[in-house]
Structure formats: C-alpha cells, structure tokens
Amino acid sequence: MRRLPPLNALQIFETVARHRSFTRAADHLCLTQGAVSRQIIALEDYYKFPLFKRHAKGLTLTAEGEMLLPAVKESFARIEEISLRLTRQRTDLALKVPTCVMRWMLPKIMRFQAEYPDLHVQITTTWQHAVDFQSEPFDAAIIYASSPGADVQAVPLFEERLTPVCAPELLKDKPLAQVADLARHTLLHPTRDHRDWKMWLAKIAEADDANAQVVDAEHGPSFDTLDMATNAALQGFGVAISDLALIDEDVAARRLVRPFEMVLKTGWRYYFVYPDSVAHQQKLNLFRDWIAAHWEE
C-alpha cells in the first residue's frame, strides 16, 4: 500500500506557507518554533526536495512547494466540510432560505420550534434562489425554480403569482384608477432585468388593454431581491410587483394595497428540498411533514 505523507506535517506546511514564517506559524498553532521546523524537515525528507527557501527576511515557497500548496489547502477544506456534515448534531437542521421568503417562512419556523424544541433549526438567509448540496453545508433549503431539480426530495410550497402593490398613502395624490396611471408612479423592480413588470404589463396588453402600452417597464430603480422592492413600496417610494403569498399579511393589515385585480402566474414555484442521499434522516422527514401540513397557514 502506498504510504501517505505525514498529514500533521502537511497541515503545518499549509500554516507556514500562509504566514511565511516559522515563528508566526508556531504562534498560530501553539507550538514551539523548533517543533514546527522539525515537521517541515520531516515533510521535506519525505518528498526528497525543499519546500521553502529560507531568507533573512522570511520564507518563500520553492516551485515544488507552490505546486503542493493548492492541493493541500483544497484537501483540508474538503475534509473540514465533510467532517462538519458528519459531526453535526442529529438535532440540528441547517436550512438555507432566500431572504425574499423570510417574512413568510419565519413565523412557520418559530411555530415548528415551539412544537419541536429539541430540533434546532439553523437558518441561513441568502439572496440566491438555488442550492448546491454538494458544495454547501445545508441539510435542506427553500428554493425558487420552475422545477425542484434532480436528486432531491421536494415539497411544493406555493406558486408565484405576481401583482402590483403599494402603500395606501401613495394613492391619495396619484390614484391608480387604470393601468395607464402607473406611468405617473415610480415602478420598483425586484430584478435588474425588470422582467416581472414586463411580464405583468404584457399580460395586461394581451387582454386588449391599450393602457399598458403607455407604461415604461424600464422606468424605476432595481433591487436585488423581491423583499427589498416590497419594503421600498411599504415606505411609499413607489409601486412594486410582488408575490401574493409574500404580501398577504401586509395587504390584510392595510400596510399595502393591491390597486389592480390582475394576477400573473409565472409557472415558477417555491419548494422545500433536501438531497435524496439523506432522505432517511428523521429530522428531515419530521420537518418535511410539518411544513407540508402547515405551509398554507
């Protein structure tokens, strides 16, 4: 069997290469300078070539050391990632959630925690709408997509349904009696390509509403996420295009109003997903069953 290089020495090699100093590496590792130096000498004896050039002002990597360093860093990073997954407590559920659905998702997670206090949900919010379980340390995620994708278990949550919303105060001086009146307002866009407003106005135009043609869908500021655009609408800065499910409570409380009845179904959905490879885990099945039963509440 092929003999591997001493792994402890490889870890010390990476630390020395990062600090370019035996002394600073020793301080970081809580070792003596002599112990660090001996590990590097042992590694150089294994490879039969020097890894560092010693200078009065410090260390530099040799050509061989430069070749070795990326592989060592990548290998230890991969081991750390896998170890984190393997050693994470069975009672922890690492969940990735897009920021745009946190207003909808957070009350549900808090209710779940109240019912199952022994299962700790660790929430990471992100502007991203997808997840890569191969490279990201999550047990499960909420994603926004046209389909849940391959190699995952999925629970469909809700279909995207877009409609304009704004603060009630915005309509006092500039009413929205018809679609053409949008031309007098600032449009708030949840995407930089303005596709949501474009799609909604195109749907209006299909209904033979010529008023939609006078509204410039390129007009108005763009935001990175739907919740940022919706928050701008809540503050009275303009009219946002938003998802019915995500603004339901604000509309019920009259913090937002829907000036038009027209709702656009885009065909995209939000899903709760987790990998097929961990489908047997009790904590995932427990949360899946709960969210499937309570997502409409």
User: Six-digit token pair at 201?
Assistant: 């106005």
* The pLDDT of residue 235: 96
User: Six-digit token pair at 239?
Assistant: 């009219």
Which residue stretches of the chain have pLDDT < 50? none
Give yes or no: residues 102 and 190 share one domain.
Answer: no
User: Six-digit token pair at 246?
Assistant: 């995500």
Q: Which domain holds residue 146?
A: 92-159+269-294
Give yes or no: residues 255 and 276 share one domain.
Answer: no
* The pLDDT of residue 80: 80
Residue 1 included in any domain = no
What CATH number corresponds to the domain at position 77? 1.10.10.10
Give yes or no: residues 245 and 282 share one domain.
Answer: no
Give yes or no: residues 127 and 216 share one domain.
Answer: no
Residue 182 included in any domain = yes
User: Six-digit token pair at 218?
Assistant: 């390129």
272-283: burial string, b at 16+ Cβ within 10 Å, e else = bbbbeeeeebeb
What CATH number corresponds to the domain at position 203? 3.40.190.10
β-bridge mates for residue 257, sequence order:
166
58-61/52-55 β-pairing:
antiparallel
* The pLDDT of residue 62: 94
Distance (Å, whole) CA 91 – CA 118: 7
Compute how many other C-beta atoms are within 10 angstroms of the C-beta atom of residue 22: 24
Q: Are 142 and 295 in contact (CB under 8 A)?
A: no
Express each pLDDT in 36-92 by its tens digit: 999 999 999 999 999 999 888 789 999 999 999 999 999 988 888 777 666 555 568
* The pLDDT of residue 287: 94
Distance (Å, whole) CA 204 – CA 223: 23
Q: Are 166 and 238 in contact (CB under 8 A)?
A: yes
Residue 172 included in any domain = yes
Residue 2 included in any domain = no
